[in-house]
Structure formats: structure tokens, C-alpha cells
Amino acid sequence: MERLLTMFEEADPFATWWPTIAALTVGIVITVRTLMSGQRCPNDNQIKEQIVVVTGGNGGIGFEIAQALAGRGGRVILACRNLEAGKRAAAIIKRELGCRTPLNSLDEDDNPADRYFVEARYLDLCSLRSVHHFAGQLMAEFERIDVLVNNAGVVFANTQVPTEDGFERHSQVNYLAPFLLTHLLLPHLQRSEQGRILFVSAHAHQGAKIDFDDPLNVGTWSVKFHAREAFAHSKLCVLLATRWMARELKGTSVTVNCCTPGLVRGTRHFRNSPLMSSLCVKAVTYPWMWLFMKNAYEGAQCAIRLATDPQLKEVTGEYFNDCEIAESSVTGQDKELAKKLYMQTIKTLESVTKLTVDREEYGLDLQLEMESELRLEAPAEAEPETETNQAADEKKWQGNGETEQP
């Protein structure tokens, strides 16, 4: 032992460059990692009793958003395609928040987890019927909605297999279904003192291809996108719709903004990515992903600020990155394109579904006025459903064992 101590005492750290090189390497890695992790939400504002809807809240960024907002006092509804995963996520959030609750703030018989309201509801964005069903249930149960976070999305999906509504999967899940959900819930959002709508876009929008004459890319002559191109196109649509929707809601109590979480690892978005194609590829790429990409907690910070910060009460129609207003692509700032896309979206959705919730079906207040409805022109009358369709719907709502939306 004495010999070992003598060796350390007589060691000269400057006799070799290796300790210096190691220290510099560690310092550079820590610096790069800190810079790439992005800015944290700069506030801890409470949102007591506010009703918050988070799509895709059973994992990844959505889980972190839901946990943060529930911890600030919000009543959080997780909208998930995999209901069982959503229920597990809700239980985990309540348990983890309960563990952080000071014991001196509880009664002797209280369970800390019971102080937090987090529950899961079924929502499949691949089905516009499911969107209607989900919105109708919420509007029947809650008198208002304060925050809607359209977080769920897909990437690297099969572009050759359309949804049951006939749309390309990236387009419907990332854009059309969230747009419809927002439209349906808008009357309840306008009942809030400060309604907030958040869309999640992506850096990929900067490389998107879009045709002014067919911005939704639904024409029969449209170019068939690769999965990466389809994802980028859908996120550009999200940004453009956000900007025009904000103009439509000007003068109301509702704000609409979108944000990019940045490059985020640890979510299920990459399950179909070439980077996850083999074990060897994973082994080579993971260290670089760890260094240059955010984790889910870091990616959620911008959305958390948009949902909670009172300083953003009057901010609407903006694109955020790292908790600050950022400059989007030139195409993402095109007002004429945004208007054209918005109008085509309304027209396209009207051709396949209704843009209002059936009040009688869900027991809604028949006196609820729809003067706040976000629409450029009156919707076409939808044909009444047949008994066969109604029976099929009831059967569908009973089954929910599919893979969750990331």
C-alpha cells in the first residue's frame, strides 16, 4: 500500500501529453453535448386545473410533455393509438410525480399519485372516424380545453399503403388528422381564458417539396414521395397551416404556434429508419446520435414553454426552436401558399368527413354556438351513416391493440 501511495506522489502528470489530451477530449465532448441539448424551458409556471390534450403522449417527446404539464398542475389527457401503452404511461407519470411530492404537503392517508390527473384515451390518427369519436367524447365530458398539443407523428412509413381514408400516411397522421382534431375542438378551446394550440413541426420542413397548385399532394398526377420527402412535406404543411390558422383566429382568445423539437433520439420514430437496419449500423451510429442529438426530455422543452409561458399570451403564428422564435424556410413564410394549402385542406376534409362534431350523438349542449368555428366556407352536408357503418364503428372502438403513434 505504501509503495502504491509513493508511486502516486512521485507521478508527474506533465511527463506525458496523454492526461492533457484526455482532459481536452472530455471537455470538448461535454461542451458539444451541452450545446446540442438545447435550451431548457425558462420558467416553472403552474397551469392549475387547465385541461391539456397531448397526442402521442404514451412515449418519447409526448410523454415528457405530458409529465411536465401534469407536474405543473394540468389535467392531462393522453391521446394514444395503443391504449394499453397509454394507460401504463399515465400510471408511470402519476407514480413518478407522486414520488416527488413533499410528504409534509399530504394528509396522512393520501396517496401522492392521486393528486395528479393523467388518463389515456384512444385515438388513431390513421382514421378520421377515430378523430371524430375522440373529439366528441372530450367535448361531452369537459366544458373547455385549455391546451392542445398535436405531437403524434410518423416518419419512414410505407408511402405506398394509404390510410383507410385514402391519404398518404405521413400526410394524414402528421397534418390532416391533427388539423381536423384542432378544428373539431376549437369551440372548446375558445371557451378557455387562454386557449393554446401547439403543432410539432421539424427541421426537415426546410427541404420539403411542394406544388403551389396542389400543396396537399393529393392530385392523381402528383409525384410519389419517398418516405423522407413525404415526412418533410407533411411538416411544411404543419408550419404553413399554423401561420394561416393564426390569421383566422386573430382577435380571439386562442393562439396557434408550432415548434421543432430538433433531432431527437430515444423515440420510436427511428424504428423504420435505415440507421436502425442492423446491429452493426446501430453500434456505429449510436455514439454519434448520443453526442449530436437530443433526448426526449430535451426535445420537449420548447413545447412545454409554448404551453405554459404567460409571456407568449399574445404570440401566435410563429415557429419556435430551442424555446425561442426562429426563422423558418422561405417557403414556410409564403402567405399565399399558406392560404392555398389551408383552403385545399378544408375542401379535402369536407369531401371525406364532417368538420363539426355531432352534438346529439355525444350529448353536447345544443345551445353551444359555433360562431368561433375555424372555416372559410360552410361544409357540405354529410350523408347519414347507415346501421352497418354504425355497427362497424362500435366494433372498431372496442379493439385497440395496435402499435402506438410515436
**Furthest-apart CA pair in the chain: how many Å?**
91
Can you tell me the mean pLDDT for 90-107? Answer: 78
Mean pLDDT of 235-261: 96
Rounded mean pLDDT of 218-247? Answer: 85
| Cell representation of residue 186 | 376549437
Domains plus CATH for the chain? Answer: 43-101+110-264+294-353 (3.40.50.720)
Find, among 81, 84, 80, the residue nearest to 57 by Cα.
80
Helix or strand run (H / E) with residue 285: helix 279-292
DSSP annotation string for 15-79? GSSHHHHHHHHHHHHHHHHHHHT-PPPS-----TT-EEEEETTTSHHHHHHHHHHHHTT-EEEEE
CB 184 within 8 A of CB 131: yes
Stated as kind and residue range, the H or E segment containing 150 is: strand 147-150
- Contact call for residues 257 and 306 (beta carbons, < 8 A): yes
The least confident of 129-133, 140-144, 285-289 is 285-289
pLDDT, tens digit (0-9, with 9 covering 90-100), for 44-94: 899 999 999 999 999 999 999 999 999 999 999 999 999 999 999 999 999
List Cβ neighbours of 252 (8 Å cut-off, separation of 6 or more). 190, 195, 372
**Least confident residue range of 10-24, 107-121, 327-341:** 10-24
Confidence of residue 270 (pLDDT cuts 50, 70, 90): low
Our measurement of the distance from residue 122's CA atom to the centroid of its chain's CA atoms, rounded to an integer in Å, reads 16
Question: What amino acid occupies position 238?
Answer: V
Q: Distances from the Cα of 14 to the Cαs of 3, 17, 21, 23, 357, in angstroms?
A: 21, 7, 11, 13, 74
Q: Quick one: which of 54, 50, 116, 62 has its CA closest to 79?
A: 54
Cα separation of 277 and 299, whole Å?
24
pLDDT digits (tens, 9 = 90+) for 304-355: 999 999 999 999 999 999 999 999 999 999 999 999 999 999 999 999 998 8
Residue type at position 106: L
Confidence of residue 169 (pLDDT cuts 50, 70, 90): very high
Cα gap 210→207, rounded to integer Å: 10
